Amino acid sequence: MTNPLLQWPHTSSFFDDAIPFEQITPEHFLEALEPAYLEAIQNINIISNLADSPTFENTIFALETASEHFEYVTGTYFNLFSAEASEELQALAQKISPKSAELSSFVLLNDKLFSRVKKLWDTKDQLKLFGADAKLLEKTYLNFTRNGALLNEADKVTLKKIDQELAVLSPQFSENVLKATNQFFMHLTEPSEVEGLPEFALQAAQEEAKKRGYQQGWVFTLHMPSYLPFIQYAHNRTLREKIWRAQASKAFNQEGIDNQPVILKSVQLRAQRAQLLGYPTHAHFILEERMAKTPEQVYTFLNTIYEAAEIAAKNDFKEVQNYAKQLGLDDELKPWDFTYYSEKLKQNKFNYNEEDLRPYFQLENVIQGVFDHAHKLYELNFKERTDIPKYHEDVKTYEVTDSQTGQYIALFYADFFPRNTKKSGAWMTAFRDQGYHKGSIKRPHVSIVCNFTKPTQDKPSLLSYDEVQTLFHEFGHALHGMLSKISYRSISGTNVFWDFVELPSQIMENWVAHKEGLNVFAKHYLTNNPLPNELIDKMKASQNFLAGYNNMRQLNFSYLDMAWHNLTSTESINSVSDFEKNTTQKTRLFAFDPTTNSSCSFSHIFAGGYSAGYYSYKWAEVLDADAFEYFLENGIFNPMVAKKFKENILTQGALEHPEILYKKFRGRSPDPKALLRRDGLIPK
């Protein structure tokens, strides 16, 4: 069979050159890898050895497009590695990751190539480049200097070796977490073991049991749609503890999939790499290209939130603890109790149960809801297509067009349900970024991947409110990718500073916290009746419930991330567990449990690109709280504000510094107190 990954530049005859997933097998990736790699090497050598003086076109632009085929092969692979990875596909990471690192080193440590780039950078004032051309030159030059171009030959060899090792560790971490997630399950057969659980959770657990070959009972797993209802509603405290401990100790001291050595080696190599490049720590290296420019600024930012949230968090904890005692808990409140009793407290305080919302959030309606929001705000239409190849039957595909002109905007993939071949969580990715591709500017192919509540035999997929927020969040990322209008892929769409990339995603969550946004799509799956105003009012009244506690939880992760990546060495670390215990002391509300560990499943920072960047979520919350205040002042579907957000944020990629783009949208810098006001931590 012909390898579709080698049929390039004419990849397929499908709409807009869509990837022919159904024709691709794991073997095809390794078959295509070497020829695509050699083609990239040849292109780079041609640029490096040109006799002509360097120009933007023959050097910077040529480099931007030199490894397109290789990026197509590896980009497709790594997206499948996260979303649809058989064991056979997972095993390929140990060969594909080092090859990617090898190509990167070949480019960035190439003296001839850098000499051409540097000549252009040194004479940039004479070149009179503007807009995307000027930004691409800057990004290219910094990419070289920040990745070893100025090192001596011996240090370049060392850097290349480090990059090769790091390239293997990231997929290994991810693979261990996935295996740990899939290893655990609870098969329960007694009705007393599942008392308190909502009907939807029981139905899903029954179907999971049947799928695993059990004739009766229920199966619960560590996938979020199964885990969260159990920890939130199950009366059986012993079983809550069992599933919580499994979740809290994934890939920690588990034979064959223990991530502790992966963490220590990753952190050590990152620190060595940063120091080789002239930075004190990995955090200093990363933050040089962030809105928060230094570790000191990150800590100042986190400490400001901590000071506002500390008392509130302790009060939240104490309130749940006292309520648990009122309900008969005669033991110390434990982590496996908190979600359970806090849910009961919320129901008592606000006469409100989030499960009352679920019948109004049928997945199909919520999907149409995000599309309708995109139409109202940004003049987009979404049309489902059945002729686009998929990598799994659950995936849905859509053609996106401008509702005013009919112009084609993007191809959109959506993958909603958990499976054993998909990592946990939710994310947005691109199979093709917007920009130059195969000789002309092409529109993007964007995907969102989630792990939502699956439909059962009796009911469609009915989402929790958190899942609705997640869908809007990832769709915000997708809009950032789809609406890009920048010429070059490396600076288009979501290829921006990571403490800015969360603004388009997090601002979208705001619409589902307001009646006007909910009324667009929230209707009962049986009666079609809209979400009652009474329920919306209760939801809004409970919006800041546990705001202090939730802020402290996010701060805990942010401080932990910074602690790992502000190290100069791991030599003084006795154990991953002790390090985590010491660095999270001030943000912990429960006693430290040495049998559990967050770091070992902290995929964001050890397998997801957020190293020294987890603070970005809180940073972007400040931006989104301030930005949404602008919408609130003018109407949440105000076309003028939406147009300014679209034209200054969503379409601009990395064309200008985020601070400049934000000021163009808002007319001023963000108000740092906007988040604290929204969370009720300071007066409005």
Q: Which tokens in the block code for residue 122?
A: 């040194």
CATH code, 271? 1.10.1370.10
Q: Which tokens in the block code for residue 308?
A: 């506002």
Mean pLDDT of all residues in 643-671: 98
Reduce the DSSP state of residue 162 to 3 states and report it: helix
Q: How many structural domains comprise the chain?
A: 4
Q: Find out whether 146 and 277 touch, Cβ atoms under 8 Å.
A: yes
Q: Check residue 15 and report its DSSP letter.
A: G
Mean pLDDT of all residues in 229-240: 98
Residue 684 has what pLDDT? 82
Other Cβ atoms closer than 10 A to 303: 13
CATH code, 443? 1.10.1370.40
Residues with a catalytic annotation lie at: 474
Ramachandran angles phi, psi of 366, nearest 5°:
-70, -40
Q: Given a cut of 90, is residue 221 above it in pLDDT?
A: yes
Residue 7 has what pLDDT? 87
Q: Check residue 143 and report its DSSP letter.
A: H
Q: Which tokens in the block code for residue 572?
A: 């003084």
Q: Is 667 exposed, middle or buried (0-12, 13-18, 19+ CB in 10 A)?
A: exposed
Give residue-wise pLDDT tens across range 556-575.
999 999 999 999 999 999 89
Residue 367 has what pLDDT? 98
Mean pLDDT of all residues in 15-31: 95
Share of the chain above pLDDT 70, in %: 100
CA distance 316 to 8: 58
Give residue-wise pLDDT tens across range 76-113.
999 999 999 999 999 999 999 999 999 999 999 999 99
Q: β-pairing, 185-188 with 218-221?
A: antiparallel
Reduce the DSSP state of residue 680 to 3 states and report it: coil
Ramachandran angles phi, psi of 542, nearest 5°:
-95, 5
* 423 in a structural domain: yes
CA distance 93 to 76: 12
CA distance 627 to 656: 18
Partners of 273 in the β-ladder: none
Asked if residue 224 and residue 267 are part of one domain, the reply reads no
* 173 in a structural domain: no
CA distance 294 to 284: 6
Q: Is 657 exposed, middle or buried (0-12, 13-18, 19+ CB in 10 A)?
A: middle
- The boundaries of the domain holding residue 563 are 260-351+549-613
Asked if residue 267 and residue 333 are part of one domain, the reply reads yes
Strand (E) or helix (H) holding 537: helix 533-541
Q: Find out whether 600 and 576 touch, Cβ atoms under 8 Å.
A: yes
Asked if residue 513 and residue 424 are part of one domain, the reply reads yes
Q: Given a cut of 60, is residue 1 above it in pLDDT?
A: no
The DSSP line for 297-323 is: HHHHHHHHHHHHHHHHHHHHHHHHHHH
> What stretches of 408-459 adopt beta strand conformation (E)?
408-415, 427-432, 435-437, 440-442, 445-449
* 174 in a structural domain: no
Asked if residue 555 and residue 516 are part of one domain, the reply reads no
Give residue-wise pLDDT tens across range 280-297.
999 999 999 999 999 999
Reduce the DSSP state of residue 55 to 3 states and report it: coil
Nearest CA-CA partner of 448 in 561, 371, 511: 371
Asked if residue 456 and residue 536 are part of one domain, the reply reads yes
Mean pLDDT of all residues in 490-506: 97
Partners of 448 in the β-ladder: 414, 428
* 481 in a structural domain: yes
> What stretches of 439-565 adopt beta strand conformation (E)?
440-442, 445-449
Locus of tokens 């679209």: 646
From residue 156, how far is each of 104, 116, 281 by CA, in Å? 12, 18, 18
Q: Is 516 exposed, middle or buried (0-12, 13-18, 19+ CB in 10 A)?
A: exposed
* 650 in a structural domain: no
Asked if residue 567 and residue 525 are part of one domain, the reply reads no
Asked if residue 593 and residue 530 are part of one domain, the reply reads no
Mean pLDDT of all residues in 106-125: 97
Mean pLDDT of all residues in 589-613: 97
* HEC sequence for 359-402: HHCEHHHHHHHHHHHHHHHHCEEEEECCCCCCCCCCCEEEEEEE
CA distance 375 to 356: 28
Asked if residue 501 and residue 429 are part of one domain, the reply reads yes
Q: Which tokens in the block code for residue 44?
A: 């780079």
Asked if residue 363 and residue 341 are part of one domain, the reply reads no
Domain boundary among 479, 510, 541: 541
Q: How confident is the model at residue 13 (pLDDT cuts 50, 70, 90)?
A: confident
* 9 in a structural domain: no
CA distance 423 to 209: 21
Residue 9 has what pLDDT? 74
Note if the bond before 672 is cis, omega within 30 degrees.
no
Locus of tokens 């885990």: 227
Domain boundary among 541, 561, 591: 541
Ramachandran angles phi, psi of 405, nearest 5°:
-110, -15
CA distance 267 to 565: 7
Nearest CA-CA partner of 515 in 536, 493, 499, 497: 536
* 235 in a structural domain: yes
Q: Which tokens in the block code for residue 50?
A: 């040109």
Locus of tokens 């797993």: 221
**Residues with Cβ within 8 Å of residue 405, at least 6 apart in sequence:** none
Q: If you average pLDDT over every residue of the chain, what do you get?
A: 97
Asked if residue 459 and residue 596 are part of one domain, the reply reads no
CA distance 297 to 204: 46
CATH code, 124? 1.20.1050
Give residue-wise pLDDT tens across range 45-77.
999 999 999 999 999 999 999 999 999 999 999
* 116 in a structural domain: yes
Q: How confident is the model at residue 8 (pLDDT cuts 50, 70, 90)?
A: confident
CA distance 661 to 293: 17
From residue 282, how far is each of 266, 492, 564 by CA, in Å? 11, 25, 9
Q: How confident is the model at residue 135 (pLDDT cuts 50, 70, 90)?
A: very high
Asked if residue 536 and residue 554 are part of one domain, the reply reads no
Residue 10 has what pLDDT? 67
Reduce the DSSP state of residue 641 to 3 states and report it: helix
Q: Find out whether 185 and 118 touch, Cβ atoms under 8 Å.
A: no
- The amino acid sitting at 272 is Q
Asked if residue 586 and residue 450 are part of one domain, the reply reads no
**What are all long-range contacts of 178-182, with beta carbons under 8 Å and residues at least 24 apart?**
178/85, 178/90, 178/423, 178/424, 179/251, 179/257, 180/222, 180/250, 180/251, 180/254, 180/257, 180/601, 181/221, 181/222, 181/223, 181/250, 181/423, 181/424, 182/221, 182/420
Give residue-wise pLDDT tens across range 434-466.
999 999 999 999 999 999 999 998 999 999 999
Q: Which tokens in the block code for residue 659?
A: 């601070």
Domain boundary among 492, 519, 541: 541
CA distance 108 to 285: 16
Task: Provide the residue count of the chain.
Answer: 684
Give residue-wise pLDDT tens across range 602-630.
999 999 999 999 999 999 999 999 999 99
Give residue-wise pLDDT tens across range 388-434.
999 999 999 999 999 999 999 999 999 999 999 999 999 999 999 99
Reduce the DSSP state of residue 510 to 3 states and report it: helix
